[in-house]
Structure 1
Amino acid sequence: MNRHVNAIAGRLSLRHPQRRSLEILDRITEIAPPGKGGDVAAMLEAIRSEFPSVTDFEREFPSLCFALATGVGKTRLMGAFISYLHLAHGINNFFVLAPNLTIYNKLKADFSDRNHPKYVFRGIAEFAIDAPVIITGDNYDQHDPRSGTLFGGVRINIFNISKINSEVRGGKSPRIKRLSEYIGESYFDYLAGLPDLVMLMDESHRYRASAGIRAINELKPILGLELTATPFVETARGALPFKNVIVDYPLGQAMKDGFVKEPAVVTRKNFNPAGMSGEEIERLKLEDGVRLHESVKVELETYARESDNPIVKPFLLVIARDTTHAGQLSELIKSDKFFEGRYRDKVIQVDSSKSGAEEEEMIAKLLKVEHTDEPTEIVIHVNMLKEGWDVTNLYTIVPLRAANARILIEQSIGRGLRLPYGKRTGVMAVDRLNIVAHDKFQEIIAEANKPDSAIHLQTVVLDMDALGQKTTTVVSQSQLATKLGLTPAHATSSTTVAGQDQTPVFTKPEEQKLAQITYEVIRKLENQPQTLPTVEYLKKPEIQAAIVKAVEEQHQPAQLELEGVGEQPDIAAVVAKTVELVTQQTIDIPRILVVPKGEVKSGFKPFSLDLSALKYPAVSDELWIQHLRTNHLEVVSLGRGGFEEARLENYVVSGLVDFDDVSYDEHADLLYDLATQTVDHFKGYLTEDDTRKVLRCYQRDIARFIHAQMQAHYWVDVAGYEVKVSKGFTELKQSAYTYSVQEPPANYRVEPADKSNMAKYLFGGFEKCLYPVQKFDSDSERKLAVILERETSKWFKPAKGQFQLYYQNGADHQEYQPDFVGETSDTIYMLEPKKRTELSDPIVVAKKEAAVKWCANASDHAASYGGKPWRYVLIPHDEIAENMTIEGLAERFGC
C-alpha cells in the first residue's frame, strides 16, 4: 500500500508528522485489518505489540488517537486518511464528528468547497473527477441514501456531536434517530448498519463524556480515527492521558520544526512592580500590549510589501477576569483617554453573557478578525477561546486574569500559533507570538524551562525609548511611478508613501489618466525584446505611433468631452512626454533565461560515501516508547512483528527514492551500491539484527545524509546552452521599509550618529536615485551612494525579485539581490560592497559567479542594439571612500 501513501503525501503536500501518521494508518490496516464484526480484543493486541503506547481503544470499536499540535494541520490529515482508505481499501462511508457549531461549519467548507483555500482534497485526481458527496446535519434526511440519486460514490457525513447525542431536552430522541419516511428506519440506524463506516473525530477530547461515548459506540464504525492537540481529559484528580494515542507530535516539536509561531513572553526593561497597584500594572500591560501591537502591524506590512505577499492585519487578544472586568476594559479602550480614542471602533468583547446557539454565533463572528477589511484590532474575552477559532493573525496576547504560569502558557498561546503564510519567514516579527506578562515574567520563564514543559519560550524585553517611537511602513515606489501619479495598492493606516510631496508631471486629471494608460501599454511591450530591446526604442516614431493608437483604443473620455464641452487632451503629446519620462527614469534590466539546447541527460556518478560521522548506537526494544515521544516518531514502526524489508539495502534505497531528483529506474545500480556501502558500514560494528533496527529507526535521517553527499556527484549532459532574453527591460519594483515617523529621512551625505545600527535610518535627498528614499546596511553602502550620486546619471538599490538572478547553494538555487545598480555614460554597473573577511565565503563566491555570467549575457544583448555593457564589481568595504570614483573601483575590483 506504500504507493498510495507516497502519492497522497505528495499530492496533498503533507508535512512530516502528517505523513508519518498516514504511514502508521497504512501499517495498522496491515496488522489489524478493519472490518465489521472484527475481534476487537485481537486487534488491540496486534496493534499494542507494535505500538506499545496503545493500551486500550477506550471505545467498543478499534479507535486510535493521532495527537498533533495545534497549527500542524489536523483537518488536512483527515482528508489524507479518507483519500487513503478509499483508494487503498475501497472504503466509501465516513462519519466526521465536530464538537461544536464553529468547527462543524468550518469542516463543511473544508470538505465541500473546491474553491476554498483549505479544501482538503485538492490534488487528489480521483476526487476531482468524482468528488465525495458531503452529507450534513442539514440535509441528511432529504433523500434515500441507498437510491444513489443523492448519496453516491464516497459519502462523507459531517455532524455536530449535538445532532447524535441521545440525551436531549424533553426526553425526545434526536431527529437523526427518528424513523425516516425514505428509508424505513432512522438515518442513525442506517449508518450503524453500513459495512464500512469509518469515524473521524475532530478535537476528540470533547467526546469522552458518557453521552458522547455511548452515541459514538452505537454507530458501530469499523475504525475510529481521533485527532486532537490535547490527548487527555481534565478531572478533579488531574489530567488523565488517553490510552489509545498512537502518534504524539507535541507543541514543542512543532515549534522546533518551524510549523507554528515561536511564542515569546514580554516584559519591560528594568520593570519593578513594587509600589504599583494591581490596576496600574494592568493598565501598563494593556498599553504596552497595544504599543507592541502597533509595532508588529508595521513590521507585518513591511514584510508583505517587501516579499510581495498579502498584507496581514494582526490583532491583540486581552484575557479578562470576568464579564464585569471585560466590560470595564471595553469602556476604557473605547474612551478618549486610551490612545486618543484610536481603538474606539476597533474592539469587540466576547464573554459568557450568551449561551447555546447565541454563544456559538458570537464565537463564529471572531473569524472575521482575520479579514483585512474588518476593523477589529482588539478582542477582549473571558475564557471563551474554543477549538475552531482557526485564525492566523493573532500576534499579541495580554493576559489580565489571575492564573498560574502553566495555565497561562497552555491556554493563552494555543489560538495564536498558526502562521499566516503557512511557514516561517525568517523575519522575527512575522514568526513570533507575544505574551505581555510583566508581573509574571520570571514565573512563566521558570515554568517554561522545566524539563517536562511542552515548550521553551523566547523572551522579549521592551525598550520603551524605542517602543515609544511610532513606526510606519514607508513604501518607496520608483520616481517614475510618483511622477505619473501612481499609488501603491492596498494602502493601510500604517502605510506612508515616500515622495508623495512631489507634484506629478501631469496635473490635469484627464492627462494623468492618459499617461497612466500609456505606461500600461509600455509595460506590456516589455515582453517584446525583438521589437523593443531597450526603452530608448520607445522614441522611434513608428513605436510611438503604435503606442498612441493603443492608448486611443483604451481611452474612455470623460462625459464633458463626449458632449463637446471642455478641452480635448493631446494624446500624442501626452504619450511623447510619458515616453521621455520612462527613458529618463529607467535603467534597462533585461530578463535573461539560460536554457539547455537539445536533449538533457542527468544523473549521479558512482562514488564512495564518507560514513565516518554515521555512528548510530544499537536500538534496544526497551527504548521504543520513549523514542516515540521524543524523536519525531521515527521509532513507532520498529516493534516486534513489524513489516520487514527482504534486504537490508532496501531500507536505504526506499528512503532515497523519496527525493524528487532521484529516479529508481535511472539510478538503481548507484542506489544499491550506496546502500551496500551503508549496510556494510553498520555491520562493521553492529550485528545484522541491530543493523536492521538502526536502518528502520533512522531511515529518513540516513537517506538525507547520503542524499547530501550525492549532490557533489551530480552530472548534467547538455549539448549546450542558449541565452534567451524574454524582456528588454523590466519595470522597477517598489521597496518597503519600517521607520520611525519622529525621524525624517536622514541626509545621505551625513554620517549617522550610530553607525552600528544603520538599519534604523532612512536616507533621502537624492537627485539621481530612481527612488526617493533608500536604506543602507552599512556606512560603506552610504558612502557608495555618495559616489554614485556624483559619478552616475542614475542609480538605485534593487528590490527583491528585480533581477530574477539565482545562484547555487548546495542542491538549492536561491535568489541573489545585488546591492546597487548604476549607469554611467558608457557602462551599467552591478555593485556589491562586502566585508573583506567575507570575500572568500563560498556563498559570496557563488553569487559573484552567477552575477558575472548574468552581466556577460546582458552585455551580449546590449551589443545587439548598440547599448551599454554591464560589469560586476565586488568591492571590499574598507576600500570605499568618498574620494573614489566608480571607474577607479571597477578598475581594481571589477570581475
Structure 2
Amino acid sequence: MSDLKVDEHLLEEVRHRLTLRTPNYQAVESVAYMMSQHYDVEERQEPFECIVDSATGVGKTYIMAGLIEYLAGIDTPARNFLILTPGRTIRDKTVRNFTPGDDKAITSSMRSDPVVVTADNFDSAAIAKAITDTSKTKVYIFTVQALTKPDTDAGRATHDYQEFLGASFYDWLGTLDDLVILADEHHCYRGPAFSRTITNLNPELVVGVTATPDSRDQDLVVYRYPLAKAIEDEYVKIPVLVARQDDRSDDQTKLLDGVTLLKHKERVSEAWAAENGVMPVRPVMLVIAQTIEDAETYRDILDSASFDSGAWVSKTLLVHSKLSGDDKEKALAELDAVEDPSSTVRIIISIGMLKEGWDVKNVYVIASMRASVSEVLTEQTLGRGMRLPYGKYTGEQMLDTVEVLAHEKYEALLKKRQALSQSMVDHRILTQVRTTGDGKKVVRKKTEEVENPFEDQPTPAPQGGEVGFLVSEEPVEHVQSLDDHLKQIEEWAKDIPDEARTHLPLPDREPIRIPYVQRVAQAQAVSLNQVHEMKPFEDLGKALKHEAGDELIRTALKAKGGQIKGQKAEDTVEALHLDTPLETSRRGLIDRVMKVKGVERRKSELNAAGSIVDTVLEAMGDTAAENLSAYFDRAARRLESEVSKQIRERARIDVVFDDRVQTADLDKPRIARRKHEADHTDTFERSLAYNGWEKNAYEYAWFDSSPEYKTAGAVDADGNVVVWARLHRNDIPITWTQEGREYNPDLVVIEAVDDKRTCWLVETKMNKEVTSAEVTAKKRAARTWANTVNNSGQVDGRWQYLLLSEDDVNDAAGSWAQMKDFGQ
C-alpha cells in the first residue's frame, strides 16, 4: 500500500477559483480522498464508484464542475468526462451550464476549458477533431437512454459505427483509460441496463450526484449534505407549510391563498430591490396537478375574470408531457424564460415534467393540489422552490422562504426524509396572516408538533459532517418530594444576605392558590390527561353528525338476463331512530373510553374522559342525540380508536402525574439583589427590579428577558386579570422528564371573564427556541400537568398553559387577549 495522493493545493485553488460553497467543496474533497483511498492506498483495480448526496438547491452542477477542474488539473489528468442525465430537461440545462457565453454558464472560471460534446454534435468535423485530441478536456453530456438503449432513436447514433473513431461512439468511450462518469440524479437509473453500461465502459471513476439516493445505495455515499443543514446554513430558502385555520380546502380557496402570498412576496421583493439597488426578482407560483384534466381546471380558474378580479388572466403557463409540436416548443420556451424580468408568466401549472432539472430561482409558492405519491417526488418537487433568487439571504423573511400550500399527506411525506429531520420532524411550520395589536398585518411562522419517527432510535454521535441528534450529558436534577418542597418554601428566608431586599406578597392582592402534583414513577403509565390536542375529536364529532340519514339505503336485487343485479329501490323509507337520551349516550361513550387498554379507573381519568366525550358531542351539535341513538356502536368504536391512538403515541415518552393534588398559597419571599426602579417603562433591563404594578401579587418583579417583561406589562394592564406573579424556582415545579427534571414557567396569571376563572401558566421563548425538543417536551408535560389538575376536581377555576414566542409577544403590541390568540 502507498500513501494518499491528493493535491490539497489544487483543491483549494479550485475552491477559490469556482467560489465553491463549503458543502460543494467538501463534496469534491471527499470524492478526491476516497478515490485516492481506493486506488492509491488499497491498490484496487475495479472502477471506483461513489455517491454524493447533496441537498436540492445547493448546487450539484458546481460539484461536477469542481470535480472536472480537479481531475483535469492533477499530475496525471483526466481528459474525458461523461455526464449522464435522466432526461432531456436536465441534459439541456447541463449543456447550457458548460457552454461558454450562455447566461446559465458556470465555465468562466474553469481553467480546463472543456469542449462540450452531445448527441447532436459529436460527429461534426470540429467536435470530431477535439474528441481525438488528447490534450483537450472533453465533457460528454448525454441522456442515459442515449447510451443504454441502442434500439431507440436516442441510442442508435451512439452505437452506430463512426469512421473517424474506428468504432461506435459508445465502444470508443470504453477504450479510454481516463473516463470519468458523473451520473446526475443518480437515483433515476440504477437498474441492470445502467449497470451494464458502466461495466462495459470501464470508467476510472463513477460519481453519482443526487439529493435522494436510493436506499439500496447508502453504502456508496461518501458525502451527505442534508436539506436541514442547507436550511440551517442559509444556502436555500426555508420551506413554510401553509394551512388555513378554517375548514375550507377547495381548489379555488387554495389557489386564492397562493396568489395572495405571491402578491405579498412581489411587493416585498420590489421594495427590497429598490432599497438595495438591484433588479427585483418577480416571484412565481408552481401549481402541482395530478392529471392533465385537473391542470386544465386550475388554469381555467386562474385565467378567469371572476378569480381575484381577473388579476391572473394570461399569466398562467400549463406544462405537461403530452404537449407536442408548436405548443410544446412555445411552452418550453416560456418555461425557460420564466426568470426573465420581461416574462409575463406568474403561475406555472405542471403535472410531471418539473420533478428534476428545472432550476429557476424565483419559485416562491408551491401549491400541491393533490397528495404526492412518493418520497422522491416530494423532495424533488419541494426542491423546485429552494434556490435563492438573490444568491443569499436578504434578511426579509418573505424573500427567504418558499410557501408550500400542502395537501394533508404532504407533511407526512416530508417527515420520512431523513435530510429534513432536524428541522421538520419534531415540528412542522405553517404561516398565518395576523393582525397585530396596533392594527398592522404581518405574516408569521407558526409551529405545530408532529410525531418524530426517530424518537425510539439510538442516537449516534455525528461523524464526518453528518447531521445527528445529540444526547444531553446534563446531570439530572434532584427530585424533591412534595413535603420537602413545601418545607423548603417555609425555610426559604433563613439565609438571606444583609444586602438583599426581601419582598413578600402584598396584603391587598388576592392570594394565588397553587396546586402541586407529583410525577407517577412508572415510565409506562398511561393517562387520558396526556391527550392535549382536541381537534381530532372535534373532527370526529363533525363526521359523526352526518351519519344519521333521513332515509334508509335500500338496494333491490332484481333478476334480468339470467343475472341478479342490484339497484336502488323505488320507494323510500324513513329511518326509524331510537329515542335514547343524550345523557345516556354520553355516559355510555365515557364508559367505552375508560375501557381503552391502559386507562385506569380513577376520578381524574373519568373527568378527562368526560372532557373528551363532551368535545365530540359539542362538535356533533344539535343532531348528537339523534345520531347516537341510531349509530352508538359505530361512534363508540371510532372514539375508542382515536383515544387509543393518542395515548399510545404519548405513553412511551411523556410524564404522567398522580391525580392527588395538594394546594398552597404562593407566599414565598422574593429576594432581590439588584437596583429597584419605582415604575416599569417600555425599556427593559435585566439588572433591574420593577415596581408600579397594579395586579402583581408582589410589589416588585424582575425578569430574564424582554418578552417576559412585555408579557407582564400586557397582563398587568388587562381588565380581566385578577392577579399575577413572576414565578421563581420551585414556585410551580413541573416535572418534564421520566428522570425527574423540573422546570418552572415564567408567569402565573389569574383572570376572571364572565365569572369564569382561568389560571394561566405562561412561558415565553425566543423564536429559535420554540421548536426545540426541550421546549416541546416541557410544553407537553405542562399540558398534562394542567389536565391532571383540572380533572382532579380539587381546584377552583381551570388551569391552562400558554407558550409565547418572541414574535407572538411583539405582534400582540401589549394586548394580553391577542397574546392568548397567537400563542400555543
Q: What TM-score, normalized to structure 1?
A: 0.45
TM-score (norm 2): 0.49
